[in-house]
Structure 1
Amino acid sequence: MTHHEDIPRPEHPRPQFVRAEERWLNLNGSWQFERDPSDSGLERGLVGRELEGSILVPFCPESELSGIGDPDWHEAVWYRRTVELPDAFPEGDRVLLHCQAVDHDATVWLDGVEVGRHRGGHTSFTLDLTDALAGRRSATLVVRARDPRHEPLPRGKQATWFANTHCQYTRTTGIWQTVWLESVPTAYLERPRITPDANVALDLDATVRHGRVGQRVRAVLSDDAGQVAVAETPVGLQMVPRLRLEVPEDRRRVWQPEDPHLYGLTFELLDAGGEVVDRLDSYAGLRTIAVEGHKVLLNGRPVFQRLVLDQGYWPESLMTAPSEEALVRDVELGLEAGFNGARIHQKIAEERFLHHCDRMGYLVWGEFPDWGVSGQGPAGHNQKPGATFVAQWVEAVERDYSHPSIVGWCPLNETHQYLHDRFTVLDDVTQAMYWATKGMDRTRPVIDASGYSHRVPTTDVWDSHDYTQDPREFAQVMGGLAQGRPHTNTGENTGSAVPGAPDYSTPYAGQPYFCSEYGGIWWVPPQERTEEDATNDEGESWGYGNRPADEEEFYSRAEGLTRVLDQDPRMFGYCYTQLTDVFQEKNGIYAFDRSAKLDMERVRAIFDHPSAYEAAG
């Protein structure tokens, strides 16, 4: 057995690229655990001794489901467990350790020997344990995770004050996604890249680690009727030539929200005699994203993007979904409310979440958790961590490149660029993250920074954030798009780090435009209100603007705001804030526990509404 139903999150964490079931081992479950508040554990010998407590992986120590539930700061934490290789792992195979996410700085030892390090709390990493195992079938795995409080790290929405405040939430430290082992042959396939081409073909870039001359890579595409296309190419010394799978016209079926068709796709590594050495089972969607003038086109047609802001937090497990069903349910909730996609906000989504978006036809904008939070963005207070942001973002784009549900990339969010200080490290980081994304992916639009300061003149998409609550005033704010004067987040930003300092953006150049944050209506049903819901003070229950007097006013306000956007023929979409309440932030369509707060038929009528953009063709 590679996993057991009595451990948390037992499903395969990388569903787009899967080896046979017997080739992987889920390491979730009970681990030894110890806090290291002064980060002195290495000097105190924690690598080589038993740890004092226990934790349920993959849940972080701040969460209830971990069995600890301590939301205080954790400068460093340690994990330890014995690893037994299953009998199904063949002798002579290589053994890989995969960590889906460890926040923030991870070091890994096997039987006291350091086998690798990784920096980045939201991105996956893989370490080869083969040499350290030296033929043994059992070993002790130790992981140290450091999460320094005073460094300006990419934290997303994790609070940099002690308590949850405003739109910052309980922190996550250490292991917070699945840890697993994989058995691979000496020469093996790494994660391939899948690129749809004009809805007629798939271009495939496969990578073979420790490949040998004489080996070949074969890719087979299939649908319900059987094999659709096959391609084969030799393995070179340094790289594998691109494979191209031409899809016959009578077998072409594009991926789109109303019909998210996925082809089966198999990658095989063949030896010189034609025997299969390694195999990955995968899937692909045939779809294109294009920018033409002010339009973003999906498969050559305008599809209005009715997005919802999804923070990806749960009460009992924080950034980790408590179960597979919880991931699926969030997609279902978005669809039931009338949205056709989400902006995954200040978080890199779990791979299994993106898998469900792929199969359920849910559009996604991939985003990097760049907030500090107190020093929002990559400049922070001392302007040092730019390279860290770029490196971790590149890892995220590479990991998620092949998901058809992802229709755009958003490296930064609400970064401030002040008029009196136009050229800063933030400029360099914004340019680097934008051009690194474009260099890695020429098939999707990239927005340099969502909201506030657009600093790349050639950015593919423009947007703004605006939480005006009066629909008539909102119409005036958003009304200049037809004249080439869209609303921008310039002028005085009262929430900026420098009060009164106006933001500065490069001039708008006619790019596709959408309001990527609006709404945020503060609503707590009267029967569920507590004393803290009576104020809008910092740290208490809150939402944007004044709370509606009653539920009817909520519907009226949400509908009025949304019509301003979906009835503008030059607006290609919107993103409503937000899918669920999160702790003190009570502006979700649903409650934090995913229960209904509103009449969902009425909510769906607001958001699933014909748009002028689609009608204009």
Structure 2
Amino acid sequence: MKKLFVVALLALMNVWNVFSADVPRPEYPRPQFERADWVNLNGIWTYEFDFGNSGKDRKLQETDKFKNNIIVPFCPESKLSGVEHTDFINQMWYQRPLTIPANWNGKKIFLNFGAVDYCAEIFIDKKFIARHFGGSSSFSIDLTRYVKPGQTHNLVVFVKDDLRSGEQTGGKQCTNYFSGGCSYTRVTGIWQTVWMEAVAPNGLKNVFARPDIDQKQLVILPEFYQESNDGTLEVTVLDGKKTVAKKEVSSCNGSVVVLPMKNMNLWTPETPFLYDVVYRVKDAKGNVIDEVKSYVGMRKVHTANGIFYLNNEPYYQRLVLDQGYYPDGIWTAPSDEALKNDIVLGKEAGFNGARLHQKVFEERYYYWADKLGYITWGESASWVLDVNKELAARNFIGEWSEVVLRDRNHPSLVTWTPFNETWGGGQNAYVRLVKDVYHITKGIDPTRPINDASGDNHVLTDIWSVHNYEQDRAKLTEQLKFEEGKEPYRNTRDKDFLAVYEGQPYMLDEFGGIPWMAEKDRKNSWGYGGMPANEEEFYKRLEGQIDAIIDSKHVWGFCYTQLTDVEQEKNGVYYYNRTPKLDMKRIKAIFEKIPSRPGK
């Protein structure tokens, strides 16, 4: 009898494991705008590659099931997808059934994609309904006209990803067959969570939550799917279970909600206090027709007199370059815990934040940065984009605008970096593109400084960033020296159409990159400046570079390359599997030689 019970229990556990495996990344993907009524669509989808771009001729948009399976939200290049096809995939097709909950009748029904690289075409029951461009930005499709609650429909997604075209963002995805240098395995198709949710027709579309600590208030700018003459929006701010502010306004896009915030708890990396916020849209009778849960961090960032300020006090940024690659998921973290762990590792290494490099990180990462206290720089995946092409510029502006709109409410995010190392940018299309992106970004979010092009080639910028991988302390000190009447060290000096330094905060936002790897890995791997002979030489070289920065009083922040190894680039302070390479207490002590708050 006991044996039969154990067998039954093991069988039940196997069923549970299979069921659980069907829904990877089960957490709600948009933690700053969370609704209760949603369906996670991650799990097993069917797919077919379309190397000949003949799928539409073959009517693949009408297919109710492809012959191969893939685990969404992991890209087909990754191990976690179950596919692991790492050659170029210019076109592919996805399919899954879409069952609409019966109780969604009378509501707007949205199909949401965290990100699809690069162009996605959506078909419901053989009918084309929408197209989206942008490999890193989230988007929503209104399915209301095409589906019926209580019924099952057929969803097909066609993906195009022409990485070598120069007309789309790609980040660190390699344009050669093999990964090489600082370019790595490619990412195609769906790589973030897909989900459905139901929203009242007059529901809340988005908000811009603007903390104003100088006037001790929180300003909310709401936008609705459909405005109402007699509906209202109620905004409640809570400290735990205690209501600290509450206001009700008309549910119109022109409404402004101003909430006094007395005795504020300010958000900082050291004290990452978050207020809960609840948005309730009500009809004319006072019935709640839409409820969204959110949070806000009361904090201010600005630049003045060559200094970066957090909450009106000088704040020194000790950043680490984080590329957000994972051995098994490529661009997609294997779990929510993995996102959290990367931030924990950064803090344990002595960093107070990260420059999120050549990848738009998913919102769950920002949630953990907000919660744990970790400042971030938001960056596009701008590499492989030809910044001198007009169509490339058009594509970039659309994608980047969606990114800024999505992430502008996160208190951890303190700087926008649209471009990185745009060395080939010319005086016509490039200059115009950077100026347009700067002004568009400021229009969507005027609350943060912009680092127009990390590593120089600056056109219009609030942060003056440079890259310098000089390994010798004395040489680095000399290169970073400010001299009266001379422009400081920069990476691009010979282009008269570029900006000149005008006293912005000067930041060394790439340096270091000291390699450290096992003997067996040295043949095909690399870092900057050659491999130290032993651990002590590693510490000595690292400390020398930090001392050079300390000597350079005008430098107001740094970004060390990098948090983890990525494939053949082995210059992380952690291995690619996130285990420590060296004595992390010593590493932490070296980086923390520069305090976050100078003079305190």
| TM-score, normalising length: structure 2 | 0.93
Partner of 1:12: 28
Cα gap change, 1:522/1:270 in structure 2, threshold over 3 Å: closer, same or farther? Answer: same
Q: Is the 8 A contact 2:300 2:310 kept in 1?
A: yes
Q: Name the counterpart of 1:210.
A: 226
Q: Contact between 1:481 and 1:570, CA under 8 Å: does it hold in 2? A: no
Asked if 1:318 corresponds to 2:330, the answer is yes
Separation of aligned partners in 1, 2:290 and 2:422: 45
By how many angstroms is 1:490 displaced?
2.3
Deviations 1:25-59 (A, max 9, x none): 00000001100012221111111122121100000
1:405 alignment partner in structure 2: 412
Over the matched positions of the two proteins, sequence identity in percent amounts to 40
Unaligned stretches of 5+ residues in structure 2? 1-17
26-35 or 479-488, which moves further after superposition? Answer: 479-488
Shift of 1:211: 2.6
* 2:594 corresponds to 1:610: yes
2:74 aligned to which of 38, 59, 63: 59
Taking the aligned partners of 1:256 and 1:135, their CA distance within structure 2 comes to 45
User: Once the 2 structures are TM-superposed, how far is the Cα of residue 64 of structure 1 from its aligned partner?
Assistant: 0.7
User: What amino acid is aligned across from residue 519 of structure 2 in structure 1?
Assistant: R
CA contact (8 A) 1:490 1:504 kept: no
Q: What SS class does the counterpart of residue 65 from structure 1 fall into? A: coil
TM-fit CA distance, 1:387 = 1.1
**Alignment match, 1:168:** 183
- Inter-CA distance 206–377: structure 2 relative to 1 (3 Å threshold): same
* TM-fit CA distance, 1:484: 6.6
Question: Displacement, 1:377?
Answer: 4.9
1:425 to 429, 432, 436: 429
Question: Which of 280, 283, 298 is residue 268 of structure 1 equivalent to?
Answer: 280
**2:507 aligned to which of 505, 511, 514:** 514
Of 8, 29, 47, 1:33 maps to 47
Distance 1:129 1:558, change over 3 A: same
Q: Deviations over 1:109-134 (max 9, x none)?
A: 11111121100010000001110014
Please name the residue that 2:7 is paired with.
none
* 8 Å CA contact retained: 2:234, 2:280: yes
1:142 to 112, 137, 156: 156
What count of residue pairs does the alignment treat as equivalent?
Answer: 579
Contact 2:515 2:527 (C-alpha < 8 Å) held by counterparts: yes
2:482 corresponding residue in structure 1: 480
Aligned-pair CA distance for 1:240: 3.7
Query: What is the CA distance between 1:235 and its match in structure 2?
Result: 2.3
CA distance in 2: counterparts of 1:103 and 1:482, whole angstroms = 48
1:461-497 per-position Cα deviation (integer Å, ceiling 9, x unaligned): 1010011111111111111278773211125xxxxxx
Deviation, 1:305, is 0.4
Amino acid at match of 1:409: W
Q: Partner residue of 2:421?
A: 414
Distance between the aligned counterparts of 1:17 and 1:484, measured in 2? 48
- 1:377 touches 1:414 (CA, 8 Å); kept in 2? no
In 2, distance between residues paired with 1:225 and 1:483?
A: 58
Q: Which residue does the alignment assign to 1:86?
A: 101
Instruction: Indicate the residue corresponding to 1:303 in structure 2.
Output: 315
2:133 to 112, 119, 142: 119
Q: Distance in 2 between matches of 1:201 and 1:593?
A: 43
Q: Aligned pair 1:232/2:236, yes or no?
A: no
What is the alpha-carbon distance in structure 1 between the residues aligned to residue 211 and residue 423 of structure 2?
Answer: 36
Say if 2:386 and 2:392, in contact at 8 Å, map to a contact too.
no
409-418 or 177-186: bigger deviation? 409-418
User: 1:270 offset after TM fit, Å?
Assistant: 0.9
Structure 1 alignment gaps of length 5 or more: 492-500, 535-539
Please give the alpha-carbon distance, in whole angstroms, between the structure 2 residues aligned to 1:109 and 1:254. 46
Match of 2:3 in 1: none
**Match of 1:46?**
60
- Whether 1:363 aligns to 2:367 is no
Taking the aligned partners of 1:607 and 1:489, their CA distance within structure 2 comes to 24
1:278-293 equivalences in 2 (<5 Å): 278-293=290-305
In structure 2, C-alpha distance between the alignment counterparts of 1:411 and 1:447, rounded to whole Å: 7
Match of 2:571 among 587, 590, 612: 587
Q: Distance in 1 between matches of 2:163 and 2:247?
A: 51
Aligned equivalents of 2:498, 2:69: Cα separation in 1: 50
Residues 412 and 450 in structure 1, CA contact (< 8 A), matched pair in contact too:
yes
1:471 is matched with 473
Does the 8 A contact of 1:465 with 1:489 survive in 2? Answer: yes
